[in-house]
Amino acid sequence: MDIIPVLDIYKSNVVVAVKGKRHLYQPINYKLYNSTDPRDIINIIKEKFKPKIIYMADLDAIINGKANHKIIDSIIKNNADIEFWIDAGLNKLNLSKRYTNYYSVFCSEKSSGFDLSNNNKENYICSFDFREKIIGNMCLPKLSRNLPKKIILMDLLQVGSSETLNFKILKKFIKYQKKHDFYIAGGIKNTFDIHKAKNLGVKGVLVSSILHKDIIGKLFIRKEKTGL
């Protein structure tokens, strides 16, 4: 099972997500990493947890179309051993080369203008974004044959909240696990949630708050990654 660290980047800093209300996002507590720079924080996370995958949301790109090209290029370039899933809101990132460890995240929230039939589904990850119901292209889940193997179920109302994890979304889609690998995001509070998600058949979970707050330790993450 993959436990995937999540970094939300806004104005060149890592910020704390709150229920998808991006106007409320504030820089992460400096004392946690002695920095708010995503490059520094990734180096620390990499050293401590040794993740295979890191998810990044470029909020500048998503909100106003101004992607953090240089920062993201530097991160991908200097961490060739990590696979990066990056949501830039369908904005093209100006990278210095074509990286093999970079996958674009296509989200239902920003689905307008994305042509599923003309994009190689091997090159991107799909995210179904929910606020009680799917937002954006509501027909997207019905287009299974055009969707990539890996799909994120993102409950925005649970992101950064104190509410319990909503497993209803997962249970609705997990029946399609023969065609897709499902990953859940939003509301993971503890190791119990991770184990329950694993038992229901998910391939991985995206975590932010419990990672930064050190609620789950490096030993647990390494065991989950190796299946021990």
pLDDT, tens digit, 9 for 90 and up, residues 162-217 = 666 778 888 888 888 888 999 998 878 888 888 888 898 999 999 987 777 766 66
Q: Is pLDDT at 6 greater than 90 in this prediction?
A: yes
Per-residue pLDDT band for 226 (boundaries 50, 70, 90) equals very low
Report the amino acid identity of residue 180. Answer: H
State the Cα–Cα distance between residues 152 and 15, nearest whole angstrom: 21
Nearest to 2 by CA among 209, 214, 194: 194
Take residue 8 and report the two structure tokens written for it: 């939300």
Q: Distance between CA atoms of 192 and 206, rounded to whole angstroms?
A: 14
- CA distance to 62, 173, 226, per residue, from 221 (Å): 30, 25, 9
In contact, 14 and 30? CB cutoff 8 Å: no
Q: Which residue has the tokens 């620390």?
A: 44
pLDDT of residue 179: 87
Domain enclosing residue 86, as ranges = 2-226
CATH number at residue 178: 3.20.20.70
How many domains in the chain? Answer: 1
Q: Please write the tens of the pLDDT for every residue from 132-173.
A: 888 877 777 777 778 889 999 988 777 765 666 778 888 888
Question: What is the pTM for the complete model shown?
Answer: 0.88
What tokens does 28 get? 């992460």
Q: Are 125 and 2 in contact (CB under 8 A)?
A: no
